[in-house]
Amino acid sequence: MSRSGEARLLPTRIFIRRKDAEAHEQIGNPTEELSYESPVTCDKQPVVVFNSVSWDKAQTGGNWAGVYSFNLNTKELAVCISPETLRFQEPHGRMWIVELVLLSDDARKLYVNVGMEEVVSGGGVVDYYLARVDLTDQQLELVCPLKDIRF
């Protein structure tokens, strides 16, 4: 709890451990404000893909920072999708990936829950969707709406 009595959200980290190793290793070296979340893997490729959120200094809210991939063999960490590279063909306001759901076996398609803001007079309306992102070109395709997931 913070001094004001509010619960503070702490950034999360992701660790890996090889079957023959005793110690866990942290993936990457994120800043204090960057949180790694909702990791997914696939059966055919040695990769972990995860979401990231950049928390504000008070750690009461944050912004989507992007999706990363980590190669388990080479230990290479790379940005797969950033807010600047995620593409959607229909007009929209802000768009962000809330969480990762599934990575295809070939590690080319990522299923995500996405928030999309529609700008309306006097503000904005946010709708949430299950979507598929092609990781080769960061193109987002809506699969279906998600109703009543935020209160």
- What is the structure's pLDDT at 3? 41
pLDDT at 119: 77
Look at residue 147 in the predicted model and tell me its pLDDT.
87
Q: What's the one-letter identity of residue 105?
A: D
pLDDT truncated to tens, each residue of the chain (151 aa)?
334 444 555 678 999 998 899 999 999 999 888 999 999 999 999 999 999 999 877 656 789 999 999 999 999 999 999 999 999 988 788 899 999 999 999 999 999 999 998 877 777 788 999 999 999 999 999 999 998 766 4
Burial label for 43, CB within 10 Å (0-12, 13-18, 19+), is exposed
pLDDT at residue number 150: 60
Query: What are the residues facing 103 on neighbouring strands?
Result: 110
Domain spans in the chain, listed from the N-terminal domain onward: 15-146
pLDDT of residue 2: 38
87 within 8 A of 94, measured Cβ to Cβ = no
